[in-house]
Structure 1
Amino acid sequence: MPDLKSRLNTMLMGGMVTPTIALGKKLGLFEALGEVASAEAPADVKTIADKADCKERYVREWLAVLSCAGFIEVTPDEKFWLTEEAKHEFTGLNNLAVAEMSFLPTVVKTFNELSDAFKKNGRYGLEYAQFGDFYDTMDSVTTAMHDAHLISDYFPLIDMSEKLAEGSLKVLDVGCGSGYHALKMASTYPKCEIHGADISEKAIGMAKDSLKEQGHKNLTFHVEDAGKMPSEWTNTFDFITIFDACHDQMRPDLCLNEIYRMLKPGGVFAMLEIRGCSNIHADKVKHGPFASAFYAVSMFHCLPVGSNRSDALCMGAMWGEQRAKKLIEDAGFKKEHVQVFEPAYFPINIVYLCKKE
């Protein structure tokens, strides 16, 4: 293992390069470079900057960072291009790690407020509204992870694909955010009645805008608190989903209680969550350095938004399988009716499949 000084230097360089990559994704600089340059015909700074509609001097500095880091090729006369491998990984949504790099500039915006939340006499946590850019990034990451597998792999895994295709199911996506999963289900399964619910008015506004554009008649979005859903929804839904949203709840126990209440007898609940062991040492052994990234995102976002009142459970993204299963069973699901999957196509996620008697 490299000595501590070497590791610190590596962390420092990575910490500076990561937001540089995120900036390139935000501004379309990788796409611009890929379009105007190749190994046979590398492009100068002006050509790349003009293609991206950016200032030449800023683009030169951006190219310098990533050329020196070894991600962009550079000639002695300062012309640039991407290898075919780099073009594939940095453009579009082909690489999950690249997509996730955009989290860094979104979460450090609340650095000072988070510092206050750490203090014994400081604030409880942070508001969802303080993370507007984070949710835009989350949409991109979700699309990068789920678009290729949600319909073709995930629903078959939980034995819901044929049932959804047959129709007549009433479906609820809890913590739906800007509506990606609900919209996908509505378009793929037009015979089902789909609902999406989220506490964020901004997110639901975005979801409704997308719904208006796509025109699905079988989908409705609602602004609702996952810990206190409408009383008339008791025993209403055949299938309830939640995608990477339960750990962000201040009271995930109340959320799971409500899900159990809203499910019809015989109904199915599927929860996608971050893989974790409910033990830091076990996470280090099983997931290695990657666990640190998930704990960091949790520290900057998931924990503070899930801690923002006096009765919050303060779970964080890495609450893990043991804690999650306990809350699921406490909500009413019997242990023998709870299955756990770790699908290879969702490498950071764990799936809890639950059935109500």
Structure 2
Amino acid sequence: MDWNEYNDFQKYIEKFTEGRWGTGYGEKFAAWAGVNDKIANFKEALDVGCGNGYHLETFSKAFPYMQFTGVDLSTEAIRNAKRKNLKNVDFHVMNGESMPKDWTNKFDWVMMFDCAHDQPRPDLTIKEIHRTLKVGGVFTMVDIDGTSNIYLDKMKGEALLSYMLSMFICLPCASNAPSMIIFSLFENCSLCHFKQCILTKVLDLDSYCLGSRWGRKRALELLNECNFKDVTVVDIPVQSQVLYVCRK
């Protein structure tokens, strides 16, 4: 399912984000990420999957000397973000799997909030993030704090909510890959050999379908596979969230 098919979804998710994060957390976040002594030297930052720009609004006010860029697949989200009229933020409708070539080694700080698990191919996006990040830069990835184990997740009080939201939002959008669409078109095709040939050709475009509770184990494996070898996991005082601090 395409993100643009969720009518008015962005305004609800922003309320959800506000309830979870509150306001004025810019300097706290920098401390959690261990960059509070370096952030004064940061010039450019990128938010991949920025949504309505909630986090960028906070950071742009906390660090007004920086230039921020936000990208998202949702036209509704970017339209809403631009209405905030943030002076030091540019917003673009863009797929994080393929960002401009001239963004190589451009950003001091790249961030992602609660959207790695929503992507059909998060590996492609994270590799792009690695490319756009300056040497010595930091990539902060915040996501749902799962265990990568259904049984262990069940022991946590909020697992039911996460799995429910994942079923109706995260997984449908994470399935929005070319091979998944083609599979649905040919699912009932009687020409089995033809269908198999088609699926074989597009297998490399298949979706990871991680789901919201993909967890720390799988997240660390993915980050390592995408060339981030220096990764620190940080427990943060935000409901159901965990922070991965990655350095290039």
TM-score for both structures, normalised by structure 1: 0.60
Partner of 1:333: 228
Shift of 1:150: 2.5
* Aligned residue pairs, count: 221
Partner of 1:271: 141
Partner deviation per Cα, 1:266-290 (whole Å, 9 max, x = no partner): 11000000010111012123x14x2
Shift of 1:354: 0.5
Partner of 1:188: 62
Structure 1 residue 313 and structure 2 residue 202: aligned?
A: no
Structure with larger Rg: 1
Shift of 1:224: 1.1
Query: Any conservation in 2 of the 1:238–1:264 contact (CA below 8 Å)?
Result: yes
Query: Any conservation in 1 of the 2:4–2:75 contact (CA below 8 Å)?
Result: no
2:8 aligned partner, one-letter code = D
Query: Any conservation in 2 of the 1:186–1:219 contact (CA below 8 Å)?
Result: yes
Q: Which has the higher strand share?
A: 2
Whole-Å Cα distance in 1 between the matches of residues 227 and 239 of structure 2? 29
Partner of 1:153: 28
Partner deviation per Cα, 1:104-125 (whole Å, 9 max, x = no partner): xxxxxxxxxxxxxxxxxxxxxx
Partner of 1:299: 167
Query: Any conservation in 2 of the 1:167–1:189 contact (CA below 8 Å)?
Result: no
Whole-Å Cα distance in 1 between the matches of residues 47 and 110 of structure 2? 6
Query: Any conservation in 1 of the 2:27–2:62 contact (CA below 8 Å)?
Result: no
Whole-Å Cα distance in 1 between the matches of residues 232 and 45 of structure 2? 20
Whole-Å Cα distance in 2 between the matches of residues 240 and 260 of structure 1? 9
Query: Any conservation in 1 of the 2:3–2:73 contact (CA below 8 Å)?
Result: no
Whole-Å Cα distance in 2 between the matches of residues 205 and 185 of structure 1? 19
Q: Which has the higher helix share?
A: 1
Whole-Å Cα distance in 2 between the matches of residues 174 and 266 of structure 1? 19
Shift of 1:293: 1.0
> 2:56 is paired with a residue of what secondary structure?
helix
Q: Given the superposition, is the C-alpha separation of residues 192 and 152 from structure 1 closer, same or farther in structure 2, using an over 3 Å criterion?
A: closer
Shift of 1:193: 1.3
Structure 1 residue 245 and structure 2 residue 124: aligned?
A: no
> 1:316 is paired with a residue of what secondary structure?
coil
Which of 163, 166, 169 lines up with 2:43 in the alignment?
169
> 2:38 is paired with a residue of what secondary structure?
helix
Whole-Å Cα distance in 2 between the matches of residues 132 and 324 of structure 1? 30
Shift of 1:148: 3.8
Partner of 2:103: 233
Percentage of pairs with the same residue = 38
Shift of 1:134: 2.6
Shift of 1:301: 0.5
Whole-Å Cα distance in 1 between the matches of residues 226 and 219 of structure 2? 11
Query: Any conservation in 2 of the 1:167–1:190 contact (CA below 8 Å)?
Result: no
Query: Any conservation in 1 of the 2:47–2:112 contact (CA below 8 Å)?
Result: yes
Question: Which deviates more, 176-185 or 263-272?
Answer: 176-185
Q: Residues 69-218 of structure 1: matches in 2 within 5 Å?
A: 126-148=1-23, 150-164=25-39, 166-211=40-85, 214=86, 216=87, 218=88
Shift of 1:222: 1.4
Whole-Å Cα distance in 1 between the matches of residues 57 and 27 of structure 2? 16
Q: Given the superposition, is the C-alpha separation of residues 155 and 140 from structure 1 closer, same or farther in structure 2, using an over 3 Å criterion?
A: same
Which of 189, 200, 219 lines up with 1:324 in the alignment?
219
Query: Any conservation in 2 of the 1:145–1:346 contact (CA below 8 Å)?
Result: yes
Whole-Å Cα distance in 1 between the matches of residues 233 and 166 of structure 2? 22
Query: Any conservation in 2 of the 1:178–1:206 contact (CA below 8 Å)?
Result: yes
Partner of 1:33: none
> 1:205 is paired with a residue of what secondary structure?
helix
Whole-Å Cα distance in 2 between the matches of residues 149 and 354 of structure 1? 23
Partner of 1:280: 150
1:267 aligned partner, one-letter code = G
Shift of 1:235: 0.9
Which of 87, 92, 98 lines up with 1:222 in the alignment?
92
Which runs of 5 or more residues in structure 1 are unaligned? 1-125
Shift of 1:160: 2.5
Shift of 1:221: 1.0
Whole-Å Cα distance in 2 between the matches of residues 169 and 142 of structure 1? 26
Partner of 1:355: 247
